Amino acid sequence: MKAIQISNKSPHLVNLPEPKGDGIKINIRVASICSSDLHLMGNGWAENRILGHEFAGYTEDGTAVAIEPIIACGCCDFCDDGYHNHCSKQAQLLGVGLDGGMAESIIVPANTLVPIPSGLAIENASLIEPLAVALHGLNRANINHKDKILVIGAGAIGLMTVIALHARGFRCDLLARYDHQQKIADYYQTSTDITDGYSLVIDAVGNSNSVQQASQKLRPMGRILMLGSFWDGANLDLQFSAKELTIIGAATYRCGSSQRDFAEAASILANDASIAHNMITHRFPLEGCDEAFNTASDRSQGSVKVAFDLPARQ
């Protein structure tokens, strides 16, 4: 099978044997690039790995599915509650610790499969994963309609947060770096009239500048929801303590339960075709891996979400 494998901090198209082992074989139809893939590759943490934790495809009987990429024991207290990322034994993430979805096929546990609802085209279903990240973050923040909300950062996760807020009936302000990002956000009724006194700031960047900016914009006893990852660490200043602010961490999503975030994300995408139209800005075959990763790395050229389209396999 064809796959994109990382070596020397670069993506390479390779031919590998078909996957074997226990589980359900998925013929992958779409996989998209996450900014974390770029960090993993650039830091040398993805050597000899097939990246890709945002992907969807077909089972061998033709069922369209997205895949929750967290592999966990499934029987500890955290797993029972759907928090597979906190598995007491060991959680592994497809495309990070294990080979992922930038390939023609993969074998995954049956409990990771999420049926794709009618109305959501399979070629757009890789968006379920990043939207689920945003939804889980909103759940962690316990948002209510009294909240005055600011989102900092308008990459894929920042824009998915705007979309998740809109789908749940909330309005927000947004700090975006590029015009094309703001244009997408405008579709979901955001405002660029940034003030002070927010009760909740959602940081979708994850560095010292963004978290300090969040602290500045918050009212006393406000909350920062961290959806961006601190790849290089971050520093807080005195106002964080002086204002008695709270930081809420959020990572991945609730899995395999009656409240699985993938199911809500899939439903939102199925009910609003504008999301995929706005978010997936570039598509490439696996053979275009170099151009795809270069495009994903340079948001100034208009990219938001870059996806690999794979042809159906017999």
Q: Domain spanning 2-129+253-309 has what CATH number?
A: 3.90.180.10
Distance CA 10, CA 241 (A): 42
pLDDT single digits (tens) 141-200: 999 999 999 999 999 999 999 999 999 999 999 999 999 999 999 999 888 889 999 999
**Is 280:127 a contact under the CB 8 Å cutoff?**
yes
pLDDT single digits (tens) 31-83: 999 999 999 999 999 999 999 999 999 999 999 999 999 999 999 999 999 99
Domains 2-129+253-309 and 131-249 share a fold: no
Phi/psi region, residue 174 (left: phi>0; alpha: psi -120 to 50; beta: rest), is beta
**Is 128:66 a contact under the CB 8 Å cutoff?**
yes
pLDDT at 7: 97
Residue-range domain boundaries for the chain: 2-129+253-309, 131-249
pTM, whole model, 2 decimals? 0.96
pLDDT at 137: 98
> Cα 122 to the chain's mean position, in Å?
17
pLDDT single digits (tens) 91-102: 999 999 999 999
Has domain 131-249 been given CATH number 3.40.50.970?
no
The confidence band for 314, taking pLDDT boundaries of 50, 70 and 90, is: low
* The pLDDT of residue 23 is above 90: yes
Distance CA 245, CA 220 (A): 7
pLDDT single digits (tens) 132-142: 999 999 999 99
pLDDT single digits (tens) 212-221: 999 999 999 9
Distance CA 201, CA 221 (A): 12
Higher model confidence: residue 106 or residue 314?
Answer: 106
pLDDT single digits (tens) 221-276: 999 999 998 877 778 887 889 999 999 999 999 998 778 999 999 999 999 999 99
Give φ, ψ of 201 to 5 degrees.
Answer: -115, 130
